[in-house]
Copies of this chain bind each other. A is one copy, B any other.
Amino acid sequence: MLDSPLIERRSLATELVERLRGLIQEGQLRPGDKIVEPELCERFGVSRTPLREALKVLAAEGLIDLSPNRGARVARISPEAVEELFPIMGMLEALAGELCIGRMGTADLALLEALHTRMVAHWRAGEWAPYGRLNRQVHEEIFRIAGNGALAALYQSLLIRTHAIRFMARKTPERWAEAIDDHERIMAALRARDAAALNLIMREHLRHKADVVHEVLKQLDEG
């Protein structure tokens, strides 16, 4: 018998969780926005029950804040939260890098090199969007090679919380160059399979990312 792909069966709540995550990530719903249940119900054509289930899940993920009888708001990320979250993400990336070094074959490294090279090319060309996409791909690839699904999932969930901010403002050229430099050093450590060095660089890289987010938050405050 041909193995047919299983029929995907999803609850409305699950679907809604993903849709809402998407809306928050791409800025349709912005940090601080009030979420009114009847409004979203109409938008998606569902009743309040599955929507409320979805909101509870998003609240557990930290993407929205729920206050009893007062409804939901898209979570704002505070400078304090950045100072808490990014060191954690640094550790997770450091672990991913370490596992990656222990498991990657030549093909894996070659793929990372290719992605890195293309990323740098886009930087040189000043092409922000494709640069960002490849940057993300490099990190995702490292997690994939690391082969720890729970680690990847955890990192992803923390990343989303900060992503809502980042698309809202642009990096300075200096910060951009700094990020490229970090990535060069990451690649060097991967080539050398130097776990200790990669560990340090990853955490430093995330420290820099935190700095960028702080600058963005300041921009938003002023502008």
Contacts and interface: CB of A to CB of B under 8 A. Distances in A.
Interface of A: 9-11, 13-14, 49, 52-54, 56-57, 59-61, 68-69, 81, 84-85, 87-88, 91-92, 94-95, 99, 148-151, 154
B56 A148 contact: no
By DSSP majority rule, is chain A's interface helix, strand, loop, or mixed? Answer: helix
Identical chains in the assembly: 2
B53 A84 contact: no
Nearest to A83: B148
Contacts of A154: 88, 154
7 contacts: A9-B69, A57-B57, A57-B60, A60-B60, A84-B150, A85-B150, A87-B151
A95 B84 contact: no
A148 B80 CA distance: 9
A87 B149 CA distance: 12
Contacts of A52: 53
A125 B91 CA distance: 38
